[in-house]
Amino acid sequence: MEAPPDPRIVPPWRRPRPAEVLRSAAAWAWSGLIFVLAPFSAVLTLGLASSSLATFWAPIWGWGGLRLLGVDLEVRGLHHLRSVGSCILVANHQSAVDLLIGAALAPRAPLVLAKAELRWLFPFNLMWVALGQRFVDRRNPEAARRSVEGIVAALKASPRTVILAPEGTRSRTGHLGAFKTGAFHMAVATQAPIVPVCIHFAGLRMPPGRMWAERGRCIVEVHPPIPTEGWTVEQVRGHALVLEERYRRWLALEAGHE
């Protein structure tokens, strides 16, 4: 039986205030503008600078969207993300606001796997392809494997940051979901460190099912990189369970952040 929603993370439904509707509409319009400008810039560079363009456009989109929504972002430990080369950034996933947070914090040449259903969302799909991002069809194991192999090859070829949600999808209740092993298999294949990022209160700002956001603060804690040299496939499930338990402890302390 699924646990009831956590009221600290997923508030009960209420009607949006006019100011919230206006702010959210402005943020959606901002996103649409970026989703058009980014592919246009890729065309101008003949598609040869997708990783550099991702580095350029991601924080512009992320910080701009957060400010329009009225979300104040407090980031702790950002130096942990800036001190490594290629890495696998993993983060808990409570809200659509997480996408803006990930973009705002994204270091150079970010790579993100988006669910295949977004392939048909215009103009998001144009921006995603133009900036060299990937889609993954979780219902098609062979296609998913090819997507992951492409990410692994990119990580080995040059310093990149892969951004993944080990839960696989947004939490509908605010409770942390079970970690899948994709990020940990990727770590075995590349020996790139895993950088855990814990996002607090994004579910309060825009819980799943809402198209508008409440003003307020989100806290992001970037934890020290986890070395993965020497990890083996046989150890993957154990490493996933250990990190999942750490996230449960970190999220249990949310009340103390308020």
**pLDDT tens digits in sequence order for the chain, 258 residues long:** 567 777 666 777 789 999 999 999 999 999 999 999 999 999 999 888 888 999 999 999 999 999 999 999 999 999 998 877 889 999 999 899 999 999 999 877 888 888 888 888 888 988 988 888 888 877 777 777 787 788 888 888 888 899 999 998 888 888 899 999 989 999 999 999 999 999 999 999 998 888 999 999 999 999 999 999 999 999 999 999 999 999 999 998 765 555
State the fold for domain 18-257.
Glycerol-3-phosphate (1)-acyltransferase (3.40.1130)
How far is the C-alpha of 187 from the C-alpha of 152, rounded, in Å? 9
Amino acid at 244: E
- The structure tokens listed for 212 are 């508008």
Is the pTM of the predicted complex or chain greater than 0.75? yes
pLDDT of residue 143: 74
- Using the structure block, give the residue that is written with the tokens 């490493």: 239
- Using the structure block, give the residue that is written with the tokens 């580095």: 55
DSSP codes joined into one string, 195-253: EEEEEESHHHHS-TT-SS---EEEEEEEPPPB--TT--GGGHHHHHHHHHHHHHHHHHT
Residue extents of the structural domains in the chain: 18-257
